[in-house]
């Protein structure tokens, strides 16, 4: 016999399928009625069924009905439990957000996201000084020596160094007995103090330079192994995998494997690489300064000159020149005192017809700012795309780069002041001319850029930029739809990393600052004082603790708004109600 549901073979007397559990109606014997006519009866009559109430078939049906009832009751219980849990979650979230007392009670746990507030507060009592956290460790000073603690207040590296500021990429430069060394975040001396006579400087790409006198004598990897053991007059950071070095007055290239690449010509200046290309100068007599005789071209990573040195950089009282770095496959160069853009083959993409201002030098989000002369000391700005088409006409008094799909545009009042608005890539004025930037000039504007959808600005007078918004009026934060995120009530706004703002206001003749996120949520109210340890260091994603000062006492604030100082924890509620 086979199961009608799953098709598996089962015993003929089975009541349920042993594979899928389906109930099986047993076969009933065939009873002949009239053998002569060959007629048979295959189903029991009503009287037959009623005559056998305890038959296996009846018991199977009863069992199945009981199971169906139990399953139904179980489903009802599970649905009710799930609904109750959902209600409890919603109620908890609502209480957390709308009832400060409950929120503070929930937060009043000593341990939060790797931070032991109580232990950290007690640990700070043992030290004479402490610095900001970097990569989970903070430098602390005791009896004139520096070591490091973690976010739980535990001394991870003993206080035994004369100098030890911060960690970067898992390494910290330390000093013992006036001799430099390098340690990892476990305290192991990767480069023992005193191994090299000179100083140690941090580079990028996980490399460190050993400097003896005025020479760079070695490049050392972060594991302590030497990459380069030869002397240079100078060597720069690695960009695009190449560092520019100089030896005996001649430039050479150095890659990240330590290989030295010679150049075809003796250039008077070589700039850093960008997108596989570096600007080089010939005939110049004064490196790092403008030289009207100098001509610029470009080399590739093999040191080959792929674009000839035929271009100039123009400087005068109002023209800054351009930065000569490729961006999005193009670079702005100057020929016959006009600016255009060329590609990596040296082909002209944007014609040489624009004024050579500093702003007109690179592409951002597929657009580059360009400027035309409309009269004596009169200019208008617009944008070109990567095909050389002027997609936004030159009608603005000044502009900034595109960022987050928006660009600042300026309207001058004719007296050196300007109003600021913002356009999108279609040239539509999305944010009206309602904000201020202080001084207005034609060769470069205030550097106003949206970052993750928000920007700090000032109203009435003063100036604002990506990093700060100082104004004689008031400062605030808006989004790309001109919605106010942080109200314009602050005297200063600083923009840190990862979308945190410091908002300051003058109170009792001193500046008090607080910390907000880019949604306008208050992390710490404006009660902190003293010097901010710098607003660029506010990075709660990278470091859960940021050094701050309250009532002239240094401490740390965390992402939940607690202030932790020596021997004391101040809750967000106490900060809001000024009970500290």
Q: Give the pLDDT of residue 407.
A: 93
Confidence check: pLDDT of 133 > 70? yes
Beta carbons of 417 and 433 less than 8 angstroms apart: no
Contacts of 271 (CB under 8 A, 6+ apart): 244, 278, 279, 280, 324, 325
Q: Give the pLDDT of residue 36.
A: 43
Domain membership of residue 11 (yes or no) is yes
Full residue range of the structural domain in which residue 6 is found: 1-43
Contacts of 20 (CB under 8 A, 6+ apart): 3, 5, 6, 8
Q: Give the pLDDT of residue 31.
A: 45
Strands 338-342 and 331-335, bridge-based pairing:
antiparallel
Domain membership of residue 322 (yes or no) is no
Tell me how many domains the chain contains.
Answer: 2
pTM to 2 decimal places: 0.72
Domain membership of residue 28 (yes or no) is yes
Distance (Å, whole) CA 318 – CA 355 = 11
Distance (Å, whole) CA 107 – CA 213 = 53
Three-state DSSP state, 241: coil
Three-state DSSP state, 56: helix
Give the confidence band of 278 by pLDDT, cuts at 50, 70, 90.
very high
Instruction: Give me the mean pLDDT over the 61-68 stretch.
Output: 64
The burial class, CB within 10 Å (0-12 / 13-18 / 19+), for 139 is buried
Instruction: Give the pLDDT confidence of 467-498 residue by residue, as tens digits.
Output: 344 445 688 889 999 999 999 888 888 766 66
Distance (Å, whole) CA 169 – CA 189 = 15
Torsion angle defined by CA atoms of residues 240, 302, 341 and 441, in that order, rounded to the nearest 10 degrees: 50
Distance (Å, whole) CA 61 – CA 53 = 11
Three-state DSSP state, 60: helix
Using a pLDDT cut of 90, give the percent of the chain over it.
43
Among 138-152, 196-210, 558-572, which stretch is predicted with the lowest mean pLDDT?
196-210
Instruction: Give the pLDDT confidence of 279-338 residue by residue, as tens digits.
Output: 999 987 655 555 677 889 999 999 999 999 999 875 443 334 456 889 999 999 889 889
Confidence check: pLDDT of 534 > 60? no
The residue ranking higher by pLDDT, 437 or 174, is 174
Instruction: Give the pLDDT confidence of 200-237 residue by residue, as tens digits.
Output: 998 888 899 999 888 999 999 999 999 999 999 999 99
Domain membership of residue 429 (yes or no) is no
Domain membership of residue 427 (yes or no) is no
Give the confidence band of 447 by pLDDT, cuts at 50, 70, 90.
low
Highest mean pLDDT among 99-113, 225-239, 435-449: 225-239
Q: How many residues does this entry show for the chain?
A: 580
Apex 58 CA angle, 54 and 63, nearest 5: 110
Domain membership of residue 228 (yes or no) is no
Domain membership of residue 404 (yes or no) is no
Domain membership of residue 23 (yes or no) is yes
Backbone angles phi, psi at 85, to 5 degrees: -60, -40
Q: Give the pLDDT of residue 300.
A: 96
Q: Give the pLDDT of residue 35.
A: 42
């Amino acid at each position: 016999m086979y199961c009608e549901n799953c098709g598996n073979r089962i015993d003929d007397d089975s009541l349920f399928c042993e594979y899928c559990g389906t109930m099986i109606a047993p076969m009933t014997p065939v009873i002949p009625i009239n053998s002569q006519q060959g007629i048979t009866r295959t189903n029991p009559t009503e009287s037959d069924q009623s005559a056998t109430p305890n038959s296996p078939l009846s018991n199977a049906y009863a069992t199945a009905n009981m199971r169906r009832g139990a399953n139904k009751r179980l489903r009802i219980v599970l649905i009710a439990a799930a609904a109750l849990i959902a209600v409890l979650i919603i109620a908890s979230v609502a209480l957390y957000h709308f009832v400060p007392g409950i929120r503070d009670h929930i937060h009043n746990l000593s341990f939060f996201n790797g931070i032991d507030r109580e232990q950290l507060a007690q640990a700070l009592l043992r030290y004479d000084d402490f610095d900001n956290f970097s990569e989970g460790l903070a430098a602390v000073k005791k009896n004139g020596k520096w070591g490091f603690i973690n976010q739980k207040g535990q001394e991870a590296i003993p206080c035994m160094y004369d100098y030890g500021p911060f960690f970067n990429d898992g390494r910290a430069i330390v000093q013992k007995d006036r001799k430099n060394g390098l340690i990892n975040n476990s305290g192991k001396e990767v480069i023992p103090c005193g191994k090299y006579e000179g100083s140690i400087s941090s580079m990028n790409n996980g490399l460190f330079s050993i400097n003896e006198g005025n020479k760079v004598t070695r490049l050392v990897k972060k594991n302590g192994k030497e990459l380069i053991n030869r002397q240079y007059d100078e060597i720069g950071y690695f960009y695009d995998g190449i560092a520019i070095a100089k030896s005996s007055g001649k430039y050479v290239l150095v890659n990240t494997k330590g290989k030295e690449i010679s150049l075809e010509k003796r250039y008077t200046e070589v700039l850093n690489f960008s997108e596989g290309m570096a600007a080089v100068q010939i005939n110049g007599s004064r490196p790092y300064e403008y030289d009207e005789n100098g001509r610029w071209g470009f080399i590739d990573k093999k040191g080959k000159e792929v674009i000839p040195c035929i271009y100039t950089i123009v400087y005068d009282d109002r023209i800054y020149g351009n930065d000569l770095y490729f961006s999005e496959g193009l670079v702005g160069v100057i020929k016959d005192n006009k600016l255009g853009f060329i590609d990596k083959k040296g082909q002209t993409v944007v014609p040489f017809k624009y004024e050579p201002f500093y702003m007109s030098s690179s592409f951002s989000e597929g657009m580059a700012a360009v400027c035309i002369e409309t009269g004596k000391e009169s200019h208008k700005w617009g944008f070109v795309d990567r095909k050389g088409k002027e997609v936004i006409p030159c009608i603005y008094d000044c502009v900034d780069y595109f960022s987050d799909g928006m660009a600042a545009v300026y309207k001058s009042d004719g007296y050196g002041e300007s109003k600021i608005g913002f356009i999108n890539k279609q040239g539509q004025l999305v944010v009206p001319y309602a904000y201020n930037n202080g001084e207005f000039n034609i060769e470069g504007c205030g550097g106003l850029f949206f970052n993750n959808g928000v920007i700090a600005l000032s109203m009435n007078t003063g100036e604002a930029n990506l990093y700060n918004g100082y104004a004689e009026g008031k400062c605030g934060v808006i989004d790309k739809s001109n919605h106010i995120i942080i109200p314009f009530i602050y005297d200063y706004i600083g923009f840190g990393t990862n979308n945190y703002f410091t908002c300051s206001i003058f109170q009792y003749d001193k500046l008090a600052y607080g910390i907000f996120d880019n949604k306008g949520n208050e992390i710490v109210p404006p009660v902190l004082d003293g010097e901010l340890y710098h607003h660029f260091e506010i990075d709660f994603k990278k470091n859960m603790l940021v050094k701050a000062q309250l009532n002239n006492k240094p401490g740390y604030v965390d992402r939940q708004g607690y202030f932790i100082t020596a021997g004391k924890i101040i809750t967000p509620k106490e900060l809001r109600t000024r009970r500290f």
